Copies of this chain bind each other. A is one copy, B any other.
Amino acid sequence: MADDSSKPIGIFDSGIGGLTVVGELMKHLPNEDIVYFGDTGRFPYGVRSASVIQRFSRQNVRFLLMKKVKYIIVACNTASAQALDSIREDFDIPIMGVIEPGAKGALAMSKAGKIGVIGSTGTVASSSYTKAIHKLDERMEVFASATPLFVALAEEGYVDKPATKLIAEDYLLPLKEKGIDCLVLGCTHFPVLKDVIAEVMESRVYLVDSAEWTVKSVKDDLYKRKLLNSTNKPGVYQYFVSDTPDKFVQVGNRFLGKGVAPAKKIDIEKY
């Protein structure tokens, strides 16, 4: 057991978005090694059925296990909603999704008990955040709204343009009018748009960055499990994808806030 703490943390996403979680890991757990898998060849998960998402997630976990990881983060809202229970049952390794930590963050920060949630059309239709929040406290009022263009805007780096501000107002002002005091960014792409979202919501609405709260939960969990890497050496980062790495590396820099080391293409269907 003592050995395990020096092993890497494994993390997978349907594509690029999970890199916002990697960025938080680097910031708050700088000594941890990371193995990231972005399933770019089978992106997007949002349009697939639950059984397909579960099969993909099992393959992703198997690949990460080959890399001898000590812990797995599902940095994808769709896979967290559709496959987390199933892979937790199938594999003997601790696994953290992004939805429970986001819900916990909202509970911790909301004083008025009025919580907004934004996410992809699929995430909002699945009500996964609303259910997770109500599981923690059923008195909370939750207002969920799909903001599908935010994904494309984040991927294209269209973050500080007047058009983005207008779209953010179209999406967010109706939520603001509900009197919410905290807003869950329920998609790993959205931290890229945090500035414009904050500008529209103004300072009295706390933004729950699910990447940030996921890493908080992971850190607590690693500590409890005695799996925190206690060395002083800086973390080593490896990136794998299931399609050509060009776009991943290019867009990835924006999501990570720094250079993504060369990503390697693997054949995920073999796992």
Mark A residues whose CB is within 8 Å of B: 40-41, 43, 47-49, 121, 148-149, 151-153, 156, 158, 161-164, 166-167, 170, 243-244, 247
Contact = CB atoms under 8 A, between A and B. Distances in A.
If over half of A's interface residues share one DSSP class (helix, strand or loop), that class is named, otherwise mixed; here it is helix
Contacts of A151: 152
Nearest to A155: B148
A112 to B, nearest CB: 30
B243 A48 contact: yes
A155 to B, nearest CB: 8
B243 A49 contact: yes
Contact of A163 (B43, B156, B163): B163
A161 B169 CA distance: 12
A38 to B, nearest CB: 12
A1 to B, nearest CB: 41
Nearest to A169: B163
Nearest to A265: B49
Contact of A43 (B40, B47, B49, B166): B47
A48 to B, nearest CB: 7
Contacts of A167: 158, 161, 163
7 contacts: A43-B47, A47-B243, A47-B247, A148-B152, A149-B149, A161-B167, A163-B167
Nearest to A164: B163
